Structure 1
Amino acid sequence: MNTVRSVLKHFARRSVAGLSAFVFAVTAFGFMTPASDAVAATKVKYAEVVRSVFYLPKYIAIANGYFAENGIEVDLTTAWGGDKGTSMLLTGRVDIVLQGPETAVYVENGASPEKTKMFAAITATDGLFLMSRKKMAMKDFKWSMIKNKTVMGWRPGSTPGLFLEYAMKKYGISPKKDVNHVTNIAIPARVGAWIAKKADYAVFFEPDVSRLSREGHAFPVASVGGEVGKVDYTVFMATDSYIKKNPKIIQGWTNAIYKAMQWVQTADATDAAKKISKWFPKVKIEDIAASVNRYRKFGIWKTDPTTHPKAISALQDILVEGGVLKANKRVAYDKVVTTRFSEKAKGK
């Protein structure tokens, strides 16, 4: 356990004081749709990094019974942060996590003898949108507008935080010098902090983007992912030991996700919204549908579940640029990614 703790301290150094008050995992739902062939289901403990329409294919895989078809019963928990998701994975509290790929790099470079691997990806880039209090067309927004303003970002060292900083630097803006960069607001408190006017600009995932916009609290002015480009942003991962012991579960999981990814490509937005509304009980169907349409417009969801070498190389470029990874600590692709399951799923 000492080696595990040393890895978790790596994440803690990039967390912000006060975030620990929100270190909890909210158990949301455990769903299972009986499989038509009566296959005995295996319960899989699974944690999503946050609750967002950003992860639409995952919810669809549950709602449409794709996991059940593969003999899997999903026990879903929300970790509220990649640092917490990694802690849950390394300590055996969950079997599979959906979170940023940077966590596998941190673990690979850490002291823990247990390592993690990505086996399927669902998002092609950052799903955050920079929001302004002033309504304007995206074409009229200039990144220079955020200079000398308060910007509510994300936890340092996380993919949301690193990608936002990368976008700022692209336009010559120093996250440390040119803006008041607020990074100590916990995920569940971000919307409330915005409404309380704690920042001039902030980044949000859907469905918060559509909801805040409809209510007149904030308006999207830029896509962070659009500025950074295509880099696998959210991936499913498990420990090496779990993958070795449970290849059928990992394959079944990947098969279900790939089927859901295909469904998402052509599905009606309102139909998709209704299917996943149980996970967003306080959000209007129209806001969920708007979220689906916005993400589809920006090409957020992957059509291929395989994480390719180019994506890991680009990710590590961002980690090095962000100062959280030394250039001589870049990890080999095959140390953090396995493609056997995603490639087999595509061949079905």
Structure 2
Amino acid sequence: MIEIKRYSKAQEKEWNDFVASSRNGTFLFNRGFMDYHADRFDDASVMAYRNGKLCALLPANRRESTLYSHQGLTYGSWIVPINHFDGAMMLEIWEAFMTYCKSEGIATIIYKSIPHIYSPYPSEDDLYALFRQGAVLKEVNLSSTIDLRNPLGFNMSKRQQLRKAHKCDITISETDDYERFWEILSACLAERHDSKPVHSIDEIRLLVSRFPDNIKLYAVSDDEGMQAGVCMFDTGHVFHSQYTATTAKARKNYYLTALYDYLINLGAGHAYFDFGISNEDHGAYLNEGLLNQKSSMGGQGVVYSIYEIKVK
């Protein structure tokens, strides 16, 4: 028998221990990451128990009568154990979860599935359960990913850019100068997208202090200081480019191409290098220029999917 319980702060250690030993969990599901912006969301995460033993977690938040796979996370779904779990148990969990949602006055569930690249083990039992629950595909975003076990390499244009960048007197290294990087990033986003970084400088500093092995900053510098940087999220299985920023000088001299070449080589030992999505407007718009930049470095398509389920 499956019992669904709402997460509480008292269960933080149990939650984190389960994520750490799970089949498809990453550090984004650790409460130390999830709760840094707890004031922005009404956390409605749940824990599923089978015969009194924890067997699955769902990071979630609630707005009125809608329950979301946590909106503060890039991806999210049921987090499950490596062993003693299969599709039949996932169906059982979903049945109990739907009953729970109905009792809580939830009318709609918006569910993000974890892109397959983030799980070291096959973990798509939830997608079958979504089909059984009559889920509708609501949104798809397209990411670009390199299989580091069989990389395609840069195309000719990128190789030419790489040679030009290295003719400049540049240095590429890990750095902790987030203040300078955030200046470049904020200027970039304001100028090119009329937006701001998702995280504030204080928030990223907090997250770096909590996850120093998972969040790192790499930069290209010349005689005028930092000119380009990439903030990487490292799950151990995937090396993910979370934030990228360049000055006009860096763009002119292709410093970012040199930095990505460095990072892709640095990522050897991971299964994948993920550039992230190239979409806007909930997947309806594909930035083909951005996509081309990633494709020219060997990135190929991986989807981030979101589903809608009506609670009956």
Shared fold, TM over 0.5: no
Q: Which has the larger radius of gyration?
A: 2
> TM-score scaled by structure 2?
0.29
Give the helix-richer structure, 1 or 2. Answer: 1
> TM-score scaled by structure 1?
0.27
